[in-house]
Every structure is written in structure tokens, then in C-alpha cells.
């Protein structure tokens, strides 16, 4: 009976994320008949509730901060800035909408692509159900992304997530943020700078615990210098709505019971993959213990013909890693088949101000690799350009393989760090000797000109 209704395609893509959309267009260009299934807004997380809206808010928050701190540069501003969150949101909504419309237009303009709205589930290895429709293909690409993880203890609390906080049109008076990592820190600084009193509660001993402790400590110093309250080592957190309005979060710290109250609560406690929504068991797909699809280095799952791209494969959690998955897929399907996950280096930025740019290994990871290492670290306060800007918080550091002379990792926490890290990354992709970069002449006055000086300071690392 079901077979009567089956619509066949050369490929089915599930999820209009950072890999799904370009893949649909690339397949269409090769004259494949493609179904692209999406349950929510086109563009996925990055466009709608991730990078684009948050970095729009980061820009507004930076403007508020620059005005409030202009007196440090000899500019007297008669009054503190008046923040209009409605206007900030409107600007953000326009950026998001323009991006969505661009994606929509490119897909609609492609007659090979059928846009199908709804939640997809597997019927079996080759068939997908969306509402009353059954789609069939021997090539299925999953780009279903992830959603906020809500920990136990918040069943009785009204909370915000990265998505709902972007819908507020009034700045919260007191914002409690549970989770002191990428999402928590970016929103903490945004809303603090827009006028909220912000408290971060983190269960671990360090903020951004994936970084080296030295980096985490400096990040903490930066956000605390801004005026954000931070409590690490907060265990057993529970949230409750107050009868009088607002929220109370209770927790334990060093064996003592503590409590704080606020007007709003943001949960920034990690993300879980949307793999479960697909009923993957119907296709015999294997998931890792954290719910990610298991993939090989060319993104194929344990089921032949089914591929997983982007956040849902657990191999990256960023827009650029999802897009790179698309590039690998395209190369495997239509190119020389040389590109694989093995080529990719770790890189990302944490968009607090000043930002942290990261590439390759942390020092802890490099030590665990057992390689002979060289290491150097310098404070941002040593750089003329940082001094001239009056933005001297942070550091630059680099780790080198003593035998190959190649750079294994770098961190630039400081003004322009998100851009400057690209210099290290380029040297790493080029498998360049650190000496080439050390002997390069960089432009004065830039923060990048510290790189050659930093490399001159390299010292062996004790095992
Ligand atoms: C607050 C925040 C800030 C971020 N900032 C950055 C940043 O600055 N830089 C950066 O690189 N990364 C950032 N990220 C991460 C980045 O947004 C994601 O890594 C990126 O969007 C890649 O996602 P994706 O392509 O895997 O899937 P997504 O973009 O999440 O798309 C998945 C799509 O699949 C759809 N879907 C899911 N299940 C089904 C189903 N069963 N049927 C139909 N459709 C389905 C979803 O509705 C969604 O549209 C941020 C994330 C957040 C939350
Ligand atoms: N700039 C960027 O590229 C950017 C920005 C935001 C998000 N992202 C992506 O989004 C992903 C998710 O970010 P995230 O910050 O939510 O997740 P995360 O997994 O990095 O951090 C979650 C934090 O919440 C804490 N936590 C978890 N449960 C808790 C509890 N019950 N009580 C107290 N603390 C608790 C954890 O210890 C951890 O520090 C990241 O992996 C990142 O890739 C990227």
C-alpha cells in the first residue's frame, strides 16, 4: 500500500543547515533530483538562533560598552547610553531574514530541488516519512543539527534557551545563566553590556573547561572585570519560579547550600543532537553514547548510502565544520575523493570581547600526545597596538613540535584574536616551519606583529 504513494529522488537531504543547503545546490547542479526536508526555518541554527543573531547582538553590546568606556580614551559622553533592545532585535531580525530569504531564493531558483516542510522520520533504510508523504532514495544525507540540552532540576522553572532569549524585547533586570561555556559567556557579556545584572553558575571548576586552565582563568578575569558575577563549582542546581515573579536557583558550593534570585534564567548547558527525532532505529543506524551518528572519515554512517553531516555527527560543532562536511561530501561525490575528515584542524573563536581565537591543540592535549614540544606565551599588554587601543587584556601563545618545527596549536585571547588566529591556522595548514613565520615581517602597528616576537621566545616544555 505504502509503495503506491512513494516519491523517488536521487537524493534526500534532511535539514536545511550549513551543510544541507549547499549540498542541495551542488547535487542539483549535477542534475540530481533532490528532496530537501526541513521542519523549521530555512538556514538552521547558525542563521536563525546561533552565529548570525548572536554576533549581531555582540556588535550592539560592544557599541554600548565603547560609549560607556569612551572616557578612557578622552571622550566625555554626557550620559550613559540608552539601550533599545527592540531596535537591536529589529536589526538582528533583518539580518536573519535577509539570510533566510537568500537561502530560500537559491533553492526555489533550482528546479531540481523540492522543498518539503515537516519532520522527517525513517521508515527503513531507503524510505523517509514526512507527514503523509513517503520519499525514497538510495542516497540520504542527514544534516539535522542539535538542540539545547536541558539538565534535570529545571522542571519547575521558566527558563530561556539560546533561541527564546533572542525574542526578548526588554533587557532582563537580573539574568542568571547556568553553564559557563561558549553560549553562556557570549550571552553573559551581551546582556551585561546591554544593562542586565548577570550571574553565571557553572558546575565545573573552570569556565570554558575545554580550554587550558590558564586560558579559562584569563577568560574569567575578563568577564569579571566587565562586572559579571561568576560562581564555578556550583553543584546540584535546581530552579524554581517565585510566586512574586522571577526565578530562584538553589545549588551547593563546597558542601554549603546557596540560593540566588533573578528576573530571568538562561540555560546554556550544552547541546544534544537531533538524531532521535529521525527514528534512526528504523534504518538500523548506530549512534554513539551521546546520540551522534557514527560516521567514517568520508561521513558515511554504518548504513551504506546514508551520510551524516554537521553537528549531528559529533565531529564538529561549528558552522565552518558543518560547511567543511559539505565540501568533503561534494569532493567524495564529484571530485578527486581526496578530501576527508582527517585533513581538518580544530579552530574556533569564543566571541566575548576581547575574543579568544583557537587553533589546533591546547597545551594539555599537546603534552598528552607525547611529542617533544616548544612553547611560548606573551601577554597582550606587551603589544603597542593593544596599548594604543586601551585593550590590553589577554595573551598570545603557541605550541610547536620540536622535531618537525610545525605549529601544533595556538591561542590568541585579546583584541582581534578571532581574526589573528588565522595567521597561525594558515601556517598549520601549510605545514610551514615556525621559523618561516618567525622571520616574516608583519605590519606595524598590528597585534599580529607580536607573532614573530612570540616565536623567538619558544622554550622546550618539560615532560
Ligand atoms: C547560540 C549559538 C551561537 C553559535 N555561534 C557560533 C559561532 O559564532 N560560530 C560557529 O562556527 N558556530 C556557532 N554556533 C554553532 C553553529 O550554529 C552550528 O554548529 C551550525 O549551525 C551547524 O549546524 P548544522 O549544519 O549541523 O545544523 P543546523 O544548522 O542546526 O540545521 C539542522 C536543521 O535540521 C532541521 N531538522 C532537525 N531534525 C529534523 C527532522 N527530523 N526533519 C526535518 N528537519 C529537521 C532543524 O530544524 C534545523 O533547521 C553557535 C550555536 C549556538 C546555539
Ligand atoms: N563562538 C562559537 O563558535 C560558538 C558560540 C556558541 C556556541 N557554540 C557551539 O555550541 C555548542 C554548545 O555550547 P554550550 O556553551 O551550551 O555547551 P558546552 O557543552 O560547551 O558547555 C556547557 C557548560 O554547561 C555546564 N553545565 C552543564 N550542565 C550543568 C548544570 N546542570 N549546572 C551547571 N552547569 C552545567 C558544563 O559544565 C559546561 O561548562 C558548543 O559546543 C559550540 O560548538 C559555538
Per-residue model confidence as pLDDT tens digits over 302-348: 999 999 999 999 999 999 999 999 999 999 999 999 999 999 999 99
Query: How many Å separate Cα 400 from the centre of its chain?
Result: 26
Q: Are residues 312 and 418 in the same domain?
A: no
Which pLDDT tens digit goes with each residue over 443-460?
999 999 999 999 999 999
Whose atoms come closest to the Cα of 235: which ligand?
2
Residue 305 lies in a domain: yes
Hey, which of 56, 161, 183 would you mutate to test ligand 2's pocket, going by the most ligand atoms within 8 Å of its Cβ? 183
pLDDT value at residue 74: 97
* 379 Ramachandran zone, left/alpha/beta (phi>0; psi -120 to 50): beta
| CA–CA distance, 361 with 368 (Å, rounded to integer) | 10
- C-alpha distances in angstroms, 416 versus 21, 100, 240, 380, 404? 30, 28, 40, 11, 29
Under a CB-based contact definition with an 8 Å cutoff, are residues 315 and 307 in contact? no
Query: b/e map of 225-257 (b: 16 or more CB within 10 Å)?
Result: ebebbbebebeebbbbeeeeebbbbbbeeeeee
Angle between helices 85-108 and 20-29 (to 10 degrees): 20
| CA–CA distance, 163 with 461 (Å, rounded to integer) | 43
How large is the ipTM?
Answer: 0.98
Residue 214 lies in a domain: yes
Beta strands (DSSP E) in 84-173 are: 113-117, 120-122, 127-130, 133-136, 140-142, 146-148
CA of 390 to the centre of ligand 1 (A): 36
| CA–CA distance, 186 with 62 (Å, rounded to integer) | 12
Q: Supply the mean pLDDT for the chain.
A: 97
Under a CB-based contact definition with an 8 Å cutoff, are residues 425 and 404 in contact? no
Q: What string of DSSP letters covers 231-251?
A: E-S-EEEEEEE-TTSSEEEEE
Q: Are residues 250 and 326 in the same domain?
A: no
Q: Output the domain CATH number for residue 412.
A: 3.30.390.30
Long-range contacts of 1-4, Cβ-Cβ distance < 8 Å, separation of 24 or more: 2/123, 2/127, 2/134
Residue 262 lies in a domain: yes
3-state secondary structure labels for all residues of 212-236: CHHHHHHHHHHHHHHCCEEECCCEE
Residue 152 lies in a domain: no
Of 244, 269, 294, the last residue of a domain is: 269
Q: Are residues 280 and 133 in the same domain?
A: yes
CA of 272 to the centre of ligand 2 (A): 11
Which protein residue has the closest C-alpha to ligand 1 atom 27? Answer: 145
pLDDT value at residue 5: 83
Which pLDDT tens digit goes with each residue over 106-138?
999 999 999 999 999 999 999 999 999 999 999
pLDDT value at residue 210: 96
Q: Is the pLDDT reported for residue 2 higher than 90?
A: no
- How far is the first Cα of the chain from the last one, in angstroms, to the nearest whole number? 67
User: What is the band of 4 on the pLDDT scale with cuts at 50, 70, 90?
Assistant: low
Among candidate residues 368, 367, 374, 394, the one with its CA nearest the CA of residue 382: 394
CB of 92 sitting under 6 A from ligand 2:
no
| Residue 151 Cα: closest atom of ligand 2 | 31
| Residue 118 Cα: closest atom of ligand 1 | 43
Hey, which of 145, 147, 320 would you mutate to test ligand 1's pocket, going by the most ligand atoms within 8 Å of its Cβ? 145
Of 251, 269, 287, the last residue of a domain is: 269
pLDDT value at residue 80: 83
Q: Are residues 367 and 339 in the same domain?
A: no
Q: Are residues 295 and 399 in the same domain?
A: no
Tally of residues, the chain = 463
H-helix or E-strand containing 200?
strand 197-201
Which pLDDT tens digit goes with each residue over 178-200?
999 999 999 999 999 999 999 99
Domain interval for residue 243: 164-269
Count of domains observed in the chain: 3
Whose atoms come closest to the Cα of 270: which ligand?
2
Residue 94 lies in a domain: yes
Residue 153 lies in a domain: no
- C-alpha distances in angstroms, 93 versus 49, 168, 460? 10, 12, 50
Q: Are residues 11 and 143 in the same domain?
A: yes
Q: Are residues 420 and 435 in the same domain?
A: yes
Q: Output the domain CATH number for residue 259.
A: 3.50.50.60
CB of 266 sitting under 6 A from ligand 2:
no
Per annotation, catalytic residue among 214, 264, 320, 444: 444
pLDDT value at residue 393: 98
Residue 463 lies in a domain: no
Instruction: At 24, list the grid cell.
Output: 542541495
Number of H helices, E strands in the chain: 12, 24
Under a CB-based contact definition with an 8 Å cutoff, are residues 106 and 271 in contact? no
Which residues contact residue 204 at a Cβ distance below 8 angstroms, ignoring those fewer than 6 apart?
Answer: 180, 232, 233
Active-site residue 192, yes or no? Answer: no
Among candidate residues 377, 404, 382, 401, the one with its CA nearest the CA of residue 393: 382
Which residues contact residue 416 at a Cβ distance below 8 angstroms, ignoring those fewer than 6 apart?
Answer: 354, 355, 447, 448
Under a CB-based contact definition with an 8 Å cutoff, are residues 193 and 229 in contact? no
Q: Is the pLDDT reported for residue 1 higher than 70?
A: no
Place of cell 551547593: 252
Under a CB-based contact definition with an 8 Å cutoff, are residues 14 and 24 in contact? no
Residue stretches of the annotated binding site: 55, 179-186, 202, 270, 311
CB of 175 sitting under 6 A from ligand 2:
no
Q: Are residues 265 and 276 in the same domain?
A: no
| CA–CA distance, 250 with 273 (Å, rounded to integer) | 28
Q: What is the mean pLDDT of residues 405-434?
A: 98
Which protein residue has the closest C-alpha to ligand 1 atom 3? Answer: 50
Angle between helices 213-226 and 182-194 (to 10 degrees): 20
Please state the pTM of the whole predicted model: 0.98
CA of 6 to the centre of ligand 1 (A): 29
Q: Are residues 306 and 369 in the same domain?
A: no
Backbone angles phi, psi at 102, to 5 degrees: -60, -45
Which pLDDT tens digit goes with each residue over 372-402?
999 999 999 999 999 999 999 999 999 999 9
Whose atoms come closest to the Cα of 202: which ligand?
2
Place of cell 507527514: 131
Query: How many Å separate Cα 195 from the centre of its chain?
Result: 24
Which residues contact residue 236 at a Cβ distance below 8 angstroms, ignoring those fewer than 6 apart?
Answer: 153, 251, 252
Q: Is the pLDDT reported for residue 3 higher than 70?
A: no
Residue 31 lies in a domain: yes
Instruction: At 26, list the grid cell.
Output: 551542488
CA of 208 to the centre of ligand 2 (A): 8
Q: Are residues 303 and 241 in the same domain?
A: no
Q: Are residues 236 and 105 in the same domain?
A: no
Amino acid at each position: 500500500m505504502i509503495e503506491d504513494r512513494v516519491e523517488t529522488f536521487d537524493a534526500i537531504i534532511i535539514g536545511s543547515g550549513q551543510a544541507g543547503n549547499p549540498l542541495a545546490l551542488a547535487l542539483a547542479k549535477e542534475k540530481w533530483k533532490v528532496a530537501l526536508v526541513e521542519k523549521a526555518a530555512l538556514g538552521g541554527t547558525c542563521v536563525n538562533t546561533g552565529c548570525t543573531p548572536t554576533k549581531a547582538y555582540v556588535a550592539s553590546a560592544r557599541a554600548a560598552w565603547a560609549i560607556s568606556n569612551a572616557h578612557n580614551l578622552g571622550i566625555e559622553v554626557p550620559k550613559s547610553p540608552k539601550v533599545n533592545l527592540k531596535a537591536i532585535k529589529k536589526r538582528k531580525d533583518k539580518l536573519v531574514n535577509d539570510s533566510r530569504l537568500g537561502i530560500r531564493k537559491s533553492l526555489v531558483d533550482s528546479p531540481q530541488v523540492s522543498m518539503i516542510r515537516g519532520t522527517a522520520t525513517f521508515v527503513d533504510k531507503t524510505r523517509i516519512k514526512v507527514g503523509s508523504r513517503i520519499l525514497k532514495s538510495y542516497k540520504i544525507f542527514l544534516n539535522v543539527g542539535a538542540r539545547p540540552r536541558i539538565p534535570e532540576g529545571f522542571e519547575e522553572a521558566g527558563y530561556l534557551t539560546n533561541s527564546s532569549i533572542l525574542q526578548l524585547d526588554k533587557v532582563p533586570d537580573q539574568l542568571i545563566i547556568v553553564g559557563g561555556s561558549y553560549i553562556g559567556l557570549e550571552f553573559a557579556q551581551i546582556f551585561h553590556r546591554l544593562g542586565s545584572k548577570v550571574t553565571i553558575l557553572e558546575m565545573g571548576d573552570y569556565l570554558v573547561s575545554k580550554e587550558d586552565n590558564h586560558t579559562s582563568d584569563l577568560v574569567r578575569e575578563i568577564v569579571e572585570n566587565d562586572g559579571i558575577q561568576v560562581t564555578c563549582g556550583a553543584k546540584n542546581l535546581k530552579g524554581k519560579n517565585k510566586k512574586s515573579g522571577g526565578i530562584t536557583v538553589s545549588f551547593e558550593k563546597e558542601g554549603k547550600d546557596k540560593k540566588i534570585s533573578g528576573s530571568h534564567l538562561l540555560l546554556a548547558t550544552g547541546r544534544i543532537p537531533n538524531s532521535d527525532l529521525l527514528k534512526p532505529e528504523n534504518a538500523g543506524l548506530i549512534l554513539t553514547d551521546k546520540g551522534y551518528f557514527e560516521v567514517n572519515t568520508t561521513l558515511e554512517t554504518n548504513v551504506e548510502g546514508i551520510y551524516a553531516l554537521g553537528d549531528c555527527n559529533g565531529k564538529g560543532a561549528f558552522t565552518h565544520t558543518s560547511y567543511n562536511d559539505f565540501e568533503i561530501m561534494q569532493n567524495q561525490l564529484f571530485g578527486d575523493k581526496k578530501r576527508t575528515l582527517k585533513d581538518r584542524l580544530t579552530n574556533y573563536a569564543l566571541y566575548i570581547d576581547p575574543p579568544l581565537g583557537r587553533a589546533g591543540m591546547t597545551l594539555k592535549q599537546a603534552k598528552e600526545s607525547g611529542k617533544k614540544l616548544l612553547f611560548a606565551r606573551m601577554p597582550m599588554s606587551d603589544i603597542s597596538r593593544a596599548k594604543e587601543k586601551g585593550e590590553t587584556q589577554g595573551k598570545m601563545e603557541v605550541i610547536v613540535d620540536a622535531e618537525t618545527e610545525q605549529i601544533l596549536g595556538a591561542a590568541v585571547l585579546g583584541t582581534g584574536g578571532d581574526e589573528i588566529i588565522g595567521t597561525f591556522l594558515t601556517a598549520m595548514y601549510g605545514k610551514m616551519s615556525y621559523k618561516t613565520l618567525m622571520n616574516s615581517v608583519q605590519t606595524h602597528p598590528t597585534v599580529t606583529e607580536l607573532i614573530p616576537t612570540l616565536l623567538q621566545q619558544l622554550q622546550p616544555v618539560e615532560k
